[in-house]
Structure 1
Amino acid sequence: MTIKDLRESDSAEYKFRLLTTNDGRFSDHPGVILNVTDVRLEMVPSSVSEGGRLTLLCKTRCTLDHIPEYIWYKNGRVTQPVTSSNRLIPDQETSSNRLIRDPVSREDAGRYSCGVKGSVDLNSTEETITIMYAPKNTSVSVSPSGEIMEGSSVTLTCSSDANPPVDKYTWYKKTVTSPKASGQSYSITNIRSEDNGEYYCEAQNEYVRLNSSFVSVDVQYGPKNISVSVSPSGKIVEGSSVTLTCSSDANPPVDKYTWYKKTVTSPKASGQSYSITNVRSEDSGEYYCEAENKYGRLNSSSVSVDIQLKQSLVSGVVGITVVVLVLILCLSGFIWFRKKSSQSTSDEGNIRDTQNNGQTDSSPVYDNISDMVMTSTAAQTADTDNQDDLHYASVYYSSSNEQEEPLYSTIQLSQPQKQEEEVQYAALKFNCPSAATRLTTREAEEEPSMLYNTVNNPRNKRT
């Protein structure tokens, strides 16, 4: 009888029986005792974590006449200690051999067996050694790879080497403390420019957690949020300089800036900054910029540039205006005063002429000075060319021999001036006697020498 694939369970007492044609039965007694022994491989402890200590124990219950030498196998191949911490320890008392791994690494995981050297049939069964370790080599992949257009979708996937396998994945965005999502994959639909940035995942099993490296999500979009700043801000004095700067949010960055002035179709300049030196009043107006990249173009809102005149020029213009207004007011008042004075003097002369009509003509009270008083503005303008530069008239009236101090009035006649003419003057002097010294009309007629009239009309040569 042949027993193949002999096992320890095959150990027993075996007997055989003979049967004859005459129904005879014969059995051996006692039978044959078969003791099946084997080589066993034991692992202590039964499971181990990376960095711990592992001991492999190989045993046999076979009765040998010598101390056996054991052979170790890993994944079907003969293996030997690879570090000084791994050593074979013979044990004559138990006829065993130990293989120690200290510390254990992931590379120690696999299928192990042992056997008795020189006895091909004395081999142990295989035992699988599992090394427990925290997540390692955690990484993130992005799909689709390359450029990601705004409005499309993207999926991030986290991978990690761990035993036992990772049971929890958490997603984070760099600079943001709160988690974005959980699960081995993280999908972003209808992606926006705000989703641009760096992401990473956290892998965790029952031993520890580990973060992956960062992966960049680059969302591509056209220009947006365009604005224009003015330096210096506020009022800009004529003759100074001003710089307009255009800012825009775009990915990839804006590669072309164009400047326009409102109501003007042709561009004023190009570049992110537009400088105007020695600004003038005609540079005032509203300006805007156009930002463009390969995904589109967009205009900014208009910004106003207000050019102010220099303060000295403004002060000069205001001063001249004030002086001119004051001169006009003074001249108007002077002409009004002259007109009123001329009218008053003419009325007094007419009254006196009426009083002295009955008296002798040998001593006239005053001469006719009607040519020297103002009649009307129109007449003065018409006769300006025929009049002399200066006119003086003095009239003295005396009704008493005792009167020494003459009474006089001065009238200045203002004529429209030309380059060759000057101002005309008229002076009238009257001396009215008091009640005590007043002469009667008859007495006045007897003393004609007291009554006189002088008219001076100096003439200046015209140039």
Structure 2
Amino acid sequence: MFYNGDHISLAFSLLILPALRVMMSPKTVTEGRSVTLTCSTTCSLGNSTTYIWYKNGLPVSTTHTPDNTFSINKIRVTDEGRYSCAVTGHDDHPSDFVILSVRYAPRNTTALLSLYINEGTSVAVICSKDAPALLSLSIKEHTSVTLTCSSDAKPSVRHYSWYKKIGAKSSLMVFGQNYSITDAKVADSGQYYCKAENIVGVTESSTLPLNVYKVTTGLRSAVLVPAIIVVAIAVSFVCWWRRTAERASGVHSQGPDATSLWHMHSSESQSKII
């Protein structure tokens, strides 16, 4: 039996295309590291065979290379995708794809503080490496606050922890994504920050300054009561002065007042009796 060129090409395609596959080394890829993809086949191909690589169905480059490997140095998250390969002359029949997923340590770790005022109002203050540092957050004693840590990581964060920093010393407060202070005291003042950790690494947020001040109601009363007394005396003095001025003005402009008339009437009566 004889075959023409088309039959030979078809037979060659059927022979090698199902055998193409992509192998990835290492199988687990971490951001900043290197990875190598290899287009392999169980068939023996000639030395003149060239290859082309695809990412998400689109050619990585239009150049066919004699090397059946494709390497990425200092890999980034943007390099993630589905990679496949094909041999020259059969570009429209690529191999099955392999998924390249990039792991990275926690980043954009953020400390979120929710402040709950007695009246029920909630205020949120965010402090992160990408935002301007918060100079100070002052709250009254006995106020309730909740600190929440969030982070972007792959794989997901497996451990959160909260720390309080006073001067150069840091103290672990609690393990967990949230840290609540239900009845704030002056001793709770300090710099707070959180850490996020996965199997790749660990990062920490910027510090979130918290100042708890004490309201001394006794001192306020001691100052307020005398002030009220002084104001009352001043008002009384002003009213007395105005009444006195009005009476003096009435004597000169409107004739004798009721008191003067009474004295005059009394004098006249006594004269008549005499």
Which category of TM-score, normalised to the shorter sequence, fits these structures? 0.5 to 0.7
| Cross-structure match for 1:266 | 230
In the alignment, is the contact (CA less than 8 A) between 1:153 and 1:187 conserved in 2?
Answer: yes
Picking from 87, 93, 99, the partner of 1:116 is 87
The 1:68–1:172 alpha-carbon spacing in structure 2 relative to 1, beyond 3 Å, is same
- Alpha-carbon displacement from aligned partner over 1:413-432 (angstroms, at most 9, x marks no partner): xxxxxxxxxxxxxxxxxxxx
Per the normalisation by structure 2, the TM-score is 0.56
Residue 193 of structure 2 is aligned to residue 200 of structure 1: yes
The 1:180–1:74 alpha-carbon spacing in structure 2 relative to 1, beyond 3 Å, is same
| Cross-structure match for 1:165 | 156
The 1:47–1:188 alpha-carbon spacing in structure 2 relative to 1, beyond 3 Å, is same
In the alignment, is the contact (CA less than 8 A) between 1:39 and 1:122 conserved in 2?
Answer: no
Quote the Cα distance in structure 1 between the aligned partners of 2:43 and 2:192.
62
Describe how 1:103-182 pairs up with structure 2 within 5 A.
Answer: 103-143=74-114, 144-145=123-124, 150-175=141-166, 177-182=170-175
Gaps of 5+ in 2: 1-13, 115-122, 126-136, 232-274
Quote the Cα distance in structure 2 between the aligned partners of 1:103 and 1:213.
27
- Alpha-carbon displacement from aligned partner over 1:78-137 (angstroms, at most 9, x marks no partner): 3249xxxxx98624xxxxx21111223333333222223542553122212233332222
Quote the Cα distance in structure 2 between the aligned partners of 1:261 and 1:35.
103
Describe how 1:7-406 pairs up with structure 2 within 5 A.
Answer: 35=15, 37-61=18-42, 67-80=48-61, 90-91=66-67, 97-143=68-114, 144-145=123-124, 150-175=141-166, 177-217=170-210, 223-224=215-216, 265-266=229-230
Higher helix residue share: 2
The 1:260–1:132 alpha-carbon spacing in structure 2 relative to 1, beyond 3 Å, is same
Quote the Cα distance in structure 2 between the aligned partners of 1:186 and 1:109.
35
Distance apart, 1:174 and its partner CA: 2.4
In the alignment, is the contact (CA less than 8 A) between 1:88 and 1:99 conserved in 2?
Answer: no
The residue type equivalent to 1:51 in the other structure is G
The 1:194–1:60 alpha-carbon spacing in structure 2 relative to 1, beyond 3 Å, is same
Quote the Cα distance in structure 2 between the aligned partners of 1:204 and 1:179.
15
The residue type equivalent to 1:140 in the other structure is A
The 1:55–1:142 alpha-carbon spacing in structure 2 relative to 1, beyond 3 Å, is same
Distance apart, 1:46 and its partner CA: 1.6
Radius of gyration: which is bigger? 1
In the alignment, is the contact (CA less than 8 A) between 1:38 and 1:123 conserved in 2?
Answer: no
In the alignment, is the contact (CA less than 8 A) between 1:49 and 1:133 conserved in 2?
Answer: yes
The residue type equivalent to 2:205 in the other structure is S
What secondary structure is seen at the aligned counterpart in 2 of 1:206?
coil
- Alpha-carbon displacement from aligned partner over 1:242-264 (angstroms, at most 9, x marks no partner): xxxxxx9xxxxxxxx969879x9
What secondary structure is seen at the aligned counterpart in 1 of 2:75?
coil
In the alignment, is the contact (CA less than 8 A) between 1:196 and 1:217 conserved in 2?
Answer: yes
| Cross-structure match for 1:461 | none
Aligned residues: 194
What secondary structure is seen at the aligned counterpart in 2 of 1:139?
strand
Quote the Cα distance in structure 1 between the aligned partners of 2:224 and 2:199.
62
By relative contact order (CA 8 Å, sep 6+), the higher-ranking structure is 2
What secondary structure is seen at the aligned counterpart in 1 of 2:153?
strand
RMSD: 3.9
